[in-house]
């Protein structure tokens, strides 16, 4: 795991933790100073290309493209199997924006 800097879809810069060989899914922990992290402390960021939105004739394609970039998501309904290396169950899925789907296991993103 290494730290990298990303740019969010809303233009902010964030220092995040990488997941193995992908640059499409990363994570951060909220402040956990003095205690062990829990699933509620975890944010998973995925690089969203808004491909599902772009296929929807009711969505404005220009607006969808303007929101392309890293998007954060809480994963509080998942089970935190391991903090280091990061392992969550079940899979993570973003069906309404880009369709990205996969697992975080042994500190790596595994696409489905």
For residue 26, count other CB atoms closer than 10 A to its CB.
25
Provide the whole-model pTM. 0.89
Nearest-angstrom CA–CA distance, 35 and 47? 29
The pLDDT value recorded for residue 101 is: 98
- Per-residue pLDDT at 64: 84
Instruction: Write the pLDDT tens digit of every residue in 85-104.
Output: 999 999 999 999 999 999 99
Place of tokens 């935190």: 80
Residue 76 has pLDDT above 90, yes or no: yes
Reported as a pLDDT band with limits 50, 70 and 90, residue 1 is: low
Binned at pLDDT 50, 70 and 90, residue 21 comes out as confident
């Amino acid at each position: 795991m290494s730290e990298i800097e990303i740019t969010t879809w809303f233009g902010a810069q964030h220092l995040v933790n990488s997941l193995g060989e992908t640059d499409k899914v990363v994570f951060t922990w909220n402040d956990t100073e003095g205690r062990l992290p829990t699933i509620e402390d975890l944010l998973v960021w995925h690089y969203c290309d808004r491909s599902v939105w772009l296929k929807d004739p009711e969505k404005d394609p220009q607006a969808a493209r303007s929101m392309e970039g890293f998007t954060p998501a809480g994963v509080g309904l998942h089970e935190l199997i391991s903090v280091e290396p990061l392992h969550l169950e079940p899979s993570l899925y973003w069906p309404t924006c880009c369709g990205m789907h996969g697992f975080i296991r042994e500190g790596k993103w595994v696409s489905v």
